[in-house]
């Protein structure tokens, strides 16, 4: 009788201790008193759901706690490689090449994920086989599930839960953010179709078109520099050649805010050329070059083509990469040149060993100069580099070259990865200095506007931020640079410009070039004051109404079957 009584007391105590341990583990990963009640409600709901199947509270609570730790762990890994936490809308990306990308770029991290997954599977099996407790009747299990569901639903409607959408870039609340996304309709809406998340019901009247400020249209060259950021964002010094590249003394420059971190360059390309945030499309942002072909009928190259420009893409990837050829054709790029199309003496195989900017930038400027020879037609050239792509534990700058720059970087921040990044950046800056002089001398008097920008930060900046322990800034991982230079355009005002969102950079380029703006671009220009440096994060109602106008006019096609670009 005494043994039976002791067992009757011990089993509930074990259950309570297991529950307390699970809540403590969740609390440690959350680091937020405000969001802890929702996280606990989610933990108990998962335990009640598992209880229906396993039949005893001990295993249900253990498995629920293990699942919470696993979700928090996966979200933490994603956060430290993309600066965004895990949500349910990220799950389709696992089947869209993301896993393969991480395996190729970060094999050690993926090995750790694989080991963690195997450990979770083993521990779950051990719990199911060897940790059974006192059985609970099916009627009581159903009752507990209903009560847990009511509590979870109630917690889901709180203000704290709604605010989790705004913490995607914060290093906390990993479990609660994922669980909140499960009950967020906007996350599920992204699975089956292309949908805008920031769109109003009422349209915004478009502004009147704005005339050109110059009778002569300049060439426009836009160069996307892969994974390039300004080290000064983190308080790190740069040398004069690098400074002149990032902040040209006779040009305009500033911080550029982008939607991505660590990868997904095409999302920055999309934003610059369409004037829209890729983040507005949720999980479809990753698929925009596939889903979006034929759906966007207002774009920078399309408008320039209507003004008589010849539009060209020169990409450092091969023609078969993603859906680049199809998408760029659909938004108005007439000539699309990929690295396997560049003529000799350019050697694509030799180039792909390092993706050297010195080699690639020389090839694109050479192609541009040959194209404009004896042809006054203005040109739009969009070039995509790949030199500074991570990981940075590979030495792509040959030994004996830019060694003083590498040493300078090591003295500033003693990390071999950063030193390699800086050495590559120094090569880019040095190459551009020579090519800019060549461009200026080849066609004296021909006006040219040149825009440089970084598409996203590389993963190594997470390590820089952790070691330097700078002030908390959730947007810092999404900051790169932009620089605008001009040849034979007198009205460009040099100096530091405003911080920009990449969705505005194409419009600002048109303004600096003195080119006419159609009603769509004129309206987008008017949103600069409303949205400031953050387009997607802005709560501007005018922006949301502008998106409604674009959809109503058929300039953004959200229908299941996209019509052909016109």
Q: Tell me which H or E stretch contains 382.
A: strand 379-384
pLDDT of residue 94: 63
The predicted model gives 214-231 an average pLDDT of: 95
Q: Please tell me what DSSP assigns to residue 88.
A: G
pTM: 0.80
Are the CB atoms for 130 and 63 separated by under 8 Å? no
Q: How confident is the model at residue 462 (pLDDT cuts 50, 70, 90)?
A: confident
- Which distant-in-sequence residues (6+ apart) come within 8 Å of 522 by Cβ? 206, 207, 208, 209, 210
Encode burial over 333-361: b for 16+ CB neighbours within 10 A, e otherwise: bebbbbbeebeeebeeeebeebbbbbbbb
The predicted model gives 103-114 an average pLDDT of: 77
Is the pLDDT confidence value at 188 over 70? no
Are the CB atoms for 260 and 375 separated by under 8 Å? no
Listed residue (450, 452, 473) closest to 256, CA to CA: 452
More reliable by pLDDT, 546 or 190: 546
pLDDT of residue 560: 65
- Which distant-in-sequence residues (6+ apart) come within 8 Å of 376 by Cβ? none
Distance, CA of 312 to CA of 308 (rounded, Å): 13
Distance, CA of 300 to CA of 337 (rounded, Å): 18
Is the pLDDT confidence value at 359 over 70? yes
Task: Compute the chain's Rg from CA coordinates.
Answer: 27
Tokens of 140: 């009581």
Is the pLDDT confidence value at 354 over 90? yes
Three-state DSSP class for 184?
A: coil
More reliable by pLDDT, 557 or 12: 557
Q: How confident is the model at residue 566 (pLDDT cuts 50, 70, 90)?
A: very low
Lowest average pLDDT, out of 58-62, 101-105, 236-240, 423-427, goes to: 101-105
Three-state DSSP class for 61?
A: helix
Q: Give phi and psi for 500, each to the nearest 5.
A: -125, 150
The predicted model gives 232-246 an average pLDDT of: 96
More reliable by pLDDT, 490 or 201: 201
The predicted model gives 71-75 an average pLDDT of: 90
The predicted model gives 481-498 an average pLDDT of: 93
Encode burial over 425-457: b for 16+ CB neighbours within 10 A, e otherwise: bbbbbbbbeebbeebeeebeebbbbbbbbbbbb
pLDDT of residue 264: 86
Q: Is residue 549 classed exposed, middle or buried when 0-12, 13-18 and 19+ CB atoms within 10 A define those classes?
A: buried
Beta bridge partner(s), residue 451 = 222, 484
Strands (E), 208-362: 219-225, 252-254, 256-257, 310-315, 335-337
Residue where the block lists tokens 């889903």: 291
Distance, CA of 68 to CA of 403 (rounded, Å): 47
Q: How confident is the model at residue 1 (pLDDT cuts 50, 70, 90)?
A: very low
Q: How many CA atoms lie within 13 A of 17 on its CB side?
A: 6
The mean of the pLDDT values for the chain is 89
pLDDT of residue 564: 47
Q: pLDDT above 90 covers what percent of the chain? A: 63
Three-state DSSP class for 259?
A: coil
CA dihedral 389, 392, 395, 396 (to 10 degrees): 10
Q: How confident is the model at residue 6 (pLDDT cuts 50, 70, 90)?
A: very low
Three-state DSSP class for 220?
A: strand
Beta bridge partner(s), residue 370 = none
Lowest average pLDDT, out of 27-31, 272-276, 402-406, 427-431, goes to: 27-31
Beta bridge partner(s), residue 482 = 254, 453
pLDDT of residue 11: 55
Beta bridge partner(s), residue 223 = 383, 452
pLDDT of residue 487: 94
pLDDT of residue 97: 55
The predicted model gives 288-299 an average pLDDT of: 92
* Cα–Cα separations (whole angstroms), residue 146 to 39, 52, 54, 93, 151: 18, 11, 17, 33, 9
pLDDT of residue 209: 97
Three-state DSSP class for 218?
A: coil
pLDDT of residue 326: 95
pLDDT of 512-529, one tens digit each?
A: 999 999 999 999 999 999
The predicted model gives 5-14 an average pLDDT of: 56
pLDDT of residue 80: 75
Lowest average pLDDT, out of 181-195, 226-240, 296-310, 488-502, goes to: 181-195
Q: Please tell me what DSSP assigns to residue 317.
A: S
pLDDT of residue 30: 84
Distance, CA of 332 to CA of 351 (rounded, Å): 28
Are the CB atoms for 304 and 220 separated by under 8 Å? yes
Is the pLDDT confidence value at 371 over 50? yes
**Strand order through the sheet with 379-384:** 335-337, 310-315, 379-384, 219-225, 448-454, 482-487, 252-254, 495-496
Are the CB atoms for 268 and 501 separated by under 8 Å? no
- Cis, peptide link before residue 171, omega less than 30° from 0: no
The predicted model gives 123-150 an average pLDDT of: 91
Beta bridge partner(s), residue 381 = 221, 312
pLDDT of residue 192: 52
Are the CB atoms for 231 and 476 separated by under 8 Å? no
């Amino acid at each position: 009788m005494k043994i039976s009584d002791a067992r009757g007391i011990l089993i509930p105590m074990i259950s309570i201790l297991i529950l307390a341990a699970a809540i403590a583990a969740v609390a440690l990963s959350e680091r937020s008193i405000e969001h802890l009640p929702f996280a606990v409600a989610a933990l108990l709901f998962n335990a009640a759901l598992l209880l229906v199947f396993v039949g005893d509270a001990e295993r249900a609570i253990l498995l629920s706690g293990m699942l919470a730790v696993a979700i928090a762990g996966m979200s933490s890994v994603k956060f430290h490689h993309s600066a965004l936490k895990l949500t349910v809308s990220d799950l389709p990306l696992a089947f869209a090449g993301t896993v393969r990308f991480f395996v190729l770029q970060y094999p050690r991290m993926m090995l750790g994920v694989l080991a963690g997954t195997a450990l979770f599977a083993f521990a779950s099996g051990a719990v199911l086989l060897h940790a059974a407790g006192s059985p609970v009747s099916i009627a009581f299990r159903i009752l507990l599930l209903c009560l847990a569901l009511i509590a979870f639903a109630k917690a889901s409607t709180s203000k704290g839960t709604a605010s989790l959408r705004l913490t995607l870039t914060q290093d906390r609340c990993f479990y609660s953010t994922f669980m909140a996304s499960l009950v967020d309709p906007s996350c599920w809406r992204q699975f089956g179709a292309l949908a805008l998340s920031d769109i109003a019901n009422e349209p915004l009247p478009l502004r009147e078109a704005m005339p050109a400020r110059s009778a002569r249209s300049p060439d426009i060259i836009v160069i996307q520099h892969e994974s390039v950021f300004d080290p000064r964002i983190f308080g790190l010094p740069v040398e004069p050649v690098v400074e002149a590249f990032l902040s040209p003394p006779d040009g305009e420059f500033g911080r550029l805010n982008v939607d991505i971190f660590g990868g997904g360059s095409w999302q920055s390309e999309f934003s610059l050329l369409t004037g829209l945030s890729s983040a507005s499309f949720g999980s479809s942002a990753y698929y925009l070059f596939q889903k979006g072909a034929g759906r966007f009928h207002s774009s920078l190259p399309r408008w320039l083509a209507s003004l008589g420009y010849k539009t060209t893409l020169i990409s450092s990837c091969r023609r078969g990469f993603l859906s680049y050829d199809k998408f760029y054709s659909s938004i108005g790029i007439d000539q699309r040149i990929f690295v396997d199309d560049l003529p000799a003496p350019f050697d694509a195989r030799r180039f792909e060993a390092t993706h050297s900017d010195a080699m690639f930038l020389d090839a694109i400027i050479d192609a541009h100069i040959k194209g404009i020879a004896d042809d006054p037609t203005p040109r739009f050239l969009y070039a995509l580099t790949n030199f500074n792509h991570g990981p940075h534990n590979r030495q792509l700058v040959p030994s004996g070259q830019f060694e003083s720059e590498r040493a300078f970087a090591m003295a500033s921040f003693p990390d071999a990865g950063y030193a390699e990044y800086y050495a590559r950046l120094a090569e880019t800056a040095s190459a551009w200095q020579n090519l800019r002089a060549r461009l200026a001398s080849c066609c004296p008097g021909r006006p040219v506007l040149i825009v440089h920008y970084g598409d996203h930060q590389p993963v190594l900046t997470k390590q820089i931020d952790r070691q330097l322990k700078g002030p908390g800034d959730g947007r810092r991982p999404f900051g790169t640079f932009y620089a605008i230079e001009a040849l034979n355009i007198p009205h460009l005002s040099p100096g530091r410009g405003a911080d920009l969102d990449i969705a505005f950079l194409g419009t600002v380029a048109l303004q600096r070039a003195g080119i006419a703006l159609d009603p769509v671009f004129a309206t987008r220009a008017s949103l600069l004051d409303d949205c400031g440096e953050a387009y997607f994060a802005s709560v501007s109602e005018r922006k949301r109404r502008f998106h409604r106008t674009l959809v109503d006019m058929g300039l953004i096609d959200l229908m299941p079957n996209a019509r052909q670009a016109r």
